[in-house]
Amino acid sequence: MIIKSITLTNFRNHSQYNLECQEQTSLILGQNGCGKTSVLEAIYILTRGKSFRATDPDIIKRGTDFYRIKLDYTNGESITATYDGKHKTFLKINQKFKRLPAKHKYPVVLFIPSDLNLISHAPSRRRDYFDRIFSELDETYATNLSKYKKALRQRNEILKQDTITKDSLFSWNLLLAKYSSALSRSRQKLISKINSTLTPTYQSIAKNSDIIEIIYESEALNLSEQSYLNILEQNFSRDQAIGHTSFGVHHDDYLFKFNHTLADGSASRGETRSIILALKFIEANLIEDINHQKPIILLDDVFSELDNSRRESLIDNFKNNQIILTSVEEIGKNF
Q: Are residues 42 and 74 in the same domain?
A: yes
Shared domain check, 330 and 240: no
Residue 113 lies in a domain: no
Same domain flag for 134 and 54: no
Number of H helices, E strands in the chain: 10, 13
d(CA 257, CA 263): 5
Residue type, 18: N
Residue 209 lies in a domain: yes
3-class DSSP assignment, residue 223: coil
Which residues, at least 6 apart from 235, have a Cβ–Cβ distance to it below 8 Å?
245, 246, 247
CATH, residue 246? 1.20.1050.90
Overall number of domains in the chain: 2
Residue 319 has pLDDT above 70, yes or no: yes
pTM of the model: 0.89
- Strands 88-92, 95-97: pairing kind: antiparallel
Last-in-domain residue among 275, 292, 309? 292
Asked if residue 111 belongs to a domain, the reply is: no
Pair (246, 100) in one structural domain? no
Task: Calculate the alpha carbon distances from 11 to 5, 73, 179 in Å.
Answer: 16, 20, 35
One domain for residues 143 and 218: yes
Query: Are 249 and 316 part of one and the same domain?
Result: no
Range of the domain at 46: 1-106+294-335
pLDDT digits (tens, 9 = 90+) for 269-318: 899 999 999 999 999 999 999 889 999 999 998 888 888 888 888 888 99
Q: Is residue 2 part of a domain?
A: yes
Average pLDDT over residues 52-59: 93
Q: For residue 6, what is the domain's CATH number?
A: 3.40.50.300
* Phi, then psi, of 248 in degrees rounded to 5: 150, 175
Contacts of 229 (CB under 8 A, 6+ apart): 173, 174, 177
104-161 confidence digits (pLDDT tens): 999 999 999 889 899 999 999 999 999 999 998 888 999 999 999 999 999 999 999 9
Asked if 166 and 195 sit in the same domain, the reply is yes
Same domain as 9, residue 100: yes
